[in-house]
Structure 1
Amino acid sequence: MEGNIAEMGTAIGAGLAAIGSGTAAIGVGHVAGNFLAGALRNPAAAGEQTATLFIGIAFAEALGIFSFLVALLLMFAV
């Protein structure tokens, strides 16, 4: 009985960690949307902000990858 509870706990934890992958997609959408809104307001400055856009997207995706790795560790490292 205790083994089943432990497996259930790891499955719940892995599911909660996998939510981070979905929220990373939301974060990338916010970064890209805010860049687009700013570029439409001031097209002359859009070229200078492209590097910042890619850095923001990279940070958002890195958090999603980290949460995916935590989910995999919880599922298979037990």
Structure 2
Amino acid sequence: MISVDDARALAEALRDSLRNVSAIDFGETTLSEEDRQFVRTRVWCDRRLPGGARCPLPTDHPGELCAASSGSP
């Protein structure tokens, strides 16, 4: 079984390697256990920033960091 941290690292690696594919919205990335797919954990904050970009920080960051974020994943 893969750990949550390993799954997050994989999601981040995929986001970084595929960031030029505009059809993929990594802000919607969630994790779930194979047998409990209805229980989902969001990976990134996903708040919209000025200019339409999404906050690239983890979901559990303090809210004021969204404003300081560059918006670049």
Q: Classify the TM-score, shorter chain.
A: 0.3 to 0.5
What TM-score do you get using the length of structure 1 for normalisation?
Answer: 0.31
Looking at secondary structure, tell me which structure has more strand per residue: 2
What TM-score do you get using the length of structure 2 for normalisation?
Answer: 0.33
Looking at secondary structure, tell me which structure has more helix per residue: 1
